A and B are shown apart, each in its own frame.
Chain A
Amino acid sequence: SQQGEEDPQALSIQEGENATMNCSYKTSINNLQWYRQNSGRGLVHLILIRSNEREKHSGRLRVTLDTSKKSSSLLITASRAADTASYFCATDSNTDKLIFGTGTRLQVFP
């Protein structure tokens, strides 16, 4: 798999349900970041988790990082229609660049 691959590619849920998205990567990292992108719009930073951290919370977001499995998950609890967007993980491997994943398209139905 490529550095930064998310699954599922697409996810449809009802409002109030939880949404879980996963990201896998190949090389060692300094940190992993999650971004949201509404259709055709800019990237909004959600959360950054460092390689020495295992879990982080921000509001309704919960991110986990398992460096032994080279994977991360993003959980959105009590989803809302406004959470409908594409979600990307991006890894920083001690270079200047972020490497983005392919993204998960989340659709939350009212």
Chain B
Amino acid sequence: EPEVTQTPSHQVTQMGQEVILRCVPISNHLYFYWYRQILGQKVEFLVSFYNNEISEKSEIFDDQFSVERPDGSNFTLKIRSTKLEDSAMYFCASNSGTSGRAETQYFGPGTRLLVL
């Protein structure tokens, strides 16, 4: 069964460094998402991406964050200058969009980011 994959599974970085989290959504899916989950807290929406542009973003997704679909398969989240509070599990998700947005979102296994 097709699945969303994410790399790396774990990332440790120093405060102020840039990180890029990578995702390969399910092929032929049209909508892509990033969510994060701070340890012990809810899963929070960060951003959605459709037709090569951001379609919605949350307040969390400030100028330090950016997303890109550099080719036909990858979807990346970049944090330009990491802060301690960016430590979280980051999830990528995709859906097929065949019935608009109201479809099942399939999540990847996550990247655990630790900012020291």
Contact = CB atoms under 8 A, between A and B. Distances in A.
Interface string B39-55: 00011110010100001
Interface of B is mostly: strand
Contacts of A1: none
Contacts of B56: 95-97
Interface stretch (B13-21, B62-70, B73-81, B98-106): B98-106
B110 A41 contact: yes
Contacts of A40: 89, 112
Given A96-B55, A96-B56, A97-B33, A45 B104 contact: yes
Contacts of B25: none
Contact of B42 (A41, A94, A96, A103): A103
B33 to A, nearest CB: 7
Interface residues of A, number: 26
- Interface band, chain B: 20 to 34
B107 A42 contact: yes
Contacts of B106: 45
Which 3 A-B residue pairings sit nearest by Cβ, starting from the closest? A96-B48, A97-B45, A42-B109
Interface of B: 31, 33, 35, 42-45, 48, 50, 55-56, 58, 89, 91, 93, 101-110, 112
17 contacts: A30-B101, A30-B102, A31-B102, A33-B104, A33-B105, A35-B107, A41-B110, A42-B91, A42-B107, A43-B43, A45-B105, A94-B101, A96-B45, A96-B56, A97-B56, A97-B58, A101-B42
